[in-house]
Amino acid sequence: MIRGVIFDLDGVLVSTDEFHYLGWKRLAEEEGIPFGREVNARQRGVSRMESLEVMLEKAPRAYSREEKLAMAERKNRYYCEFLAGLTPADVLPGAREILRALRARGLKVAVGSSSRNTPAIMEHTGLLDEVDAVADGNDITASKPDPEVFLIAARRLGLAPGECLVVEDAPAGVEAARRGGMAVFAIDAHGLLADVPCRAASLGGVTVEDLLATPCRTGK
């Protein structure tokens, strides 16, 4: 029985994909590294350092660990500059409505995101008041597809993993949910998650009944 729903943040409730792209592109240009949207697409759903390694695949030279850490922080600084302009109007269509509908039905709701910028995004968009718990990149030692962030979110909701459904938009997040023993509903705007029985292009029009349908709970 599903008693709680855990939502990934970026790409599900809010989209800051363009901010990430612009931040990585600026960094790449400063370092003389070729970078485009096809490379950026491979960075979705993974940690900042893993994303950096994707960008560095075409780098003209090798970088030390210290240089990589500094580069990751530089990109994050660029990204945060864009985040400062987020407002409640930037919440994706249907997101706030489904959060409220779930809580009105007595289900618990959490955000489970690998991003360490989750607190800032939640604050700027006004989503903190819409959820019961948050687990993010500041809480974890391993990023998705490790299930740690979702397991922390479930624990903060006071629920067992099997009582939770995860709403995700990235393959790494879907794998993380499955490894954690949780059901999955996919936001599949790019057609990358055809193996997930329950999915939609966005949360727009998604109902509580859609999330709690038998295929979503059983994975069949």
Q: Measured between alpha carbons, how far is residue 42 from residues 145, 148, 164, 169 in Å?
A: 14, 21, 27, 13
Residue type, 125: T
> Tokens standing for 140?
């974890």
CA angle 96, 99, 101 (to 5 degrees): 105
d(CA 185, CA 95): 14
Residues marked active site are found at 8, 10
> What phi and psi, each to the nearest 5 degrees, are found at residue 64?
-75, 165
d(CA 13, CA 25): 24
